[in-house]
Structure 1
Amino acid sequence: MRSSLKRTLTISAATLSFMSASGLAMSASASKIKQVGSTNLEPTTAYIRNYKATGSNAIYNKPGKLSGSKVVASASTAKAQSVLHGYKVAKLSNKSYYMKVVSFDGRYRGYIYVGKKNPVNNFKKVGGGLTYLSTTTSTSLTNNDKKDLSFAKPGTDTQIYKAPKGSQYKVGAAVKDTTDYKGHKLVASKAAMNDMDGQKWLYVSDVTEPTNASGWVLASQLTDYVAPKAPVSVGNDQTTVTKNWQREFYNPATGTKAYSFDNLNLPLLGTSGGSNVNWTTAVKKFNSDATVKGDKKDVVPADTLATAFKNSGLSTVYMKVTPTLLARIPGGLLDKIDSYSGLYMKFDLDMDNIPTTTHYGDQLKLAYKLDNTNLYYKPVISLGGLTNTNADGYAALPVQLNAMNTLWGLLYQ
């Protein structure tokens, strides 16, 4: 029995001696592996450094082959994380690379083995314990997305994000409360699907001054934009235009746009606004338009003014420039009959010359730009596509009037 015990003790001692020697050898081997490089990754590539753990490697407090490294998250725990974000790379003397990662919830942080190739060369192709994970996928804007949009329910539950929520590490809301954006017009320029939850996001810009905020908004939190109705001004101040009008011309002396009065009093020609049926009729219609009647203290909305110009016929005026058969009475019967007997110049209203602030009851002096490329006539009978009449019922005769326009500018400079 003593002999047997002696043999057992001898074998155990030998075993312990062998294991101790092996451990020392492993420790010595591990101590030989050093970290020879470390790279902090640039913020510009953060959006493509999102990964899923493969389950083959654990996360350590320091690169796993280094002495003193400890497990932060086992391989199975690492795999259970929905996303790991990489932000640093370490190179070891045995030519292995480790990436420092953090879970999106911040619970786990440490180094995980990513292979023998430097991931900095291609963040989408890493090995070892990680595989690239796309958190968003770009998609096309639909026709509904291209409409003018606004927030359906602005407030703290509807936020503007720097990236689709939950798709990037520590990238949160740019605007946490959209209450002040109620009724604002938003325009979408990009669309993306959040691959983490399958929800659609739109990148929108607020085009309502003075905010101009922009960012990603959950598509389901947007609705069609409805323009606010202009307040109705109550009063009897009628906005009018004068019978005299200005013509825009190019001033060759200054190289700039200028204006002249078209006040030539030649009854047989259309050079005088007061002797032209189109002009006279349009002025009368505008000067009795109830949409531009209101209280003197109120400003006429720009779109209301533009609509009134268009409806009255002042947006585009055809001035007759050939002699009439008889001296015309503005707007009279002969003038109307004679409308088919001559040639016209086309003048387009210069909205830039309208005062930026027009109050109800103001009298405006309009300015027009000559169409330099055509004269126009009014066909008695339209022959389908042969006469090629425009929406105003006039047919064009291509004539270059540039020389006339320049001469006109020289006369009035």
Structure 2
Amino acid sequence: MSKTLKKSLYLSAAALSLITISATNAKAAKKAHYATATYSVMYTDRADSNVLVNANNAIYTKPGTMPGAKLVASRDELSDLTTSSSDKNTFFVYQMAKTSRGSYYAKVVTMDKRYRGWIYAGKQDFSMNLNNIGGGLNPVTTLGNAAMPDVRTGYTLKNQRLWTAPYHTSIDAKRINLAYTNYTSNDTFTIDRAARNRAGWLYYHVYDANNPSIQGWVYYGALGMSDTSSSTGYTLNFSTDYGNTTSFSKTLSFEQLGASSNTPASLNMYNPSITNLIPAGYHIDANKPFTTNDDQRNLTKGGKATVNLVPNSLINLNIYDNNNNSSFTVNNNAQLNTDFNNYFNLNTLNSSNSYRYITADNLYNFINVETNKGVITFNNGYALNRVNGDANVSYTDNNVYVNITTNKSGTTNY
């Protein structure tokens, strides 16, 4: 072999080695460019794990810095959703990822399932507290409290559509199949909560007066009044001057008055079908609740009675918490008390032989409303906890004492 050919072969081998080393280094550099991630489930209440996009970041099939991540929705495409009040454009957060670079991503899906994927969510762990979320997302409340109607009983379902939550306000909202319950088309419903979605649509939470276990949410337009007539039911005339004038009237069915196959209809001042009709600011006079010529324990069809109303004394609210009141400040005590009396039906609290409890959920929602209005301010990073069971409430001499729980950690008690 000639010296020239031999030298040429040596040079070719050396060049091939350099090419191989360069390719290996390029692959290693490319691999080092991508981040790795660890994944976590969400520990927040699913009903409250909702956010809106702010178009600061796009949505990908994987966390954006991961290999193989593909674009699902660009920032420009998401910008149209930032100004939308439609609940179908609310996103539900159901998984978290932390990359090796310290960034957090959220896996989200819209209520209508149109968009699904991963989006940058800031530099804080939000798996236990959605208030820590950032980046391309902002927390949102899908339901706000609404005023209760004056008439709260005697409603029927027009289309038999009852939901576990208002449509598109919770990812778990499902229609209740009434065919598998004891519901009949003659059943009447009582309203115990009112709320509006982000678009302003009004919904009522109702329960079946005959079968209280049947309960759920319904759009207000899907409720109708029962067809009980004055000749087949019993008419109540509500009066603030013991029958001299009538403020309003309502005819109730005998079932609403407690009648059954073995029990006659009767007048009871604590019957929810009656107390839920009482306007704000009044309660039934315990000394003379009704004026009627009928036997109040055995009513007759077509009968009528006067319900005697007297004004409430203002209920004074005193709230305290498990952090010695260091977690919040009441900025406007008069407004807090006015809102409290308007928000809760406290009629029965004015009677010494009755009481009314406040559910933890209702108290949680009320405190949040007052916080959003600026009536209450939480201090030094404290947050309100939602607790299980009923709220801790005591009542003496027109004063209500309510205990709330707060925390200053990264977790929230759900």
Under a length normalisation based on structure 1, what TM-score does the superposition of the two structures give? 0.46
Structure with more helix by fraction: 1
Under a length normalisation based on structure 2, what TM-score does the superposition of the two structures give? 0.46
Larger radius of gyration: 1
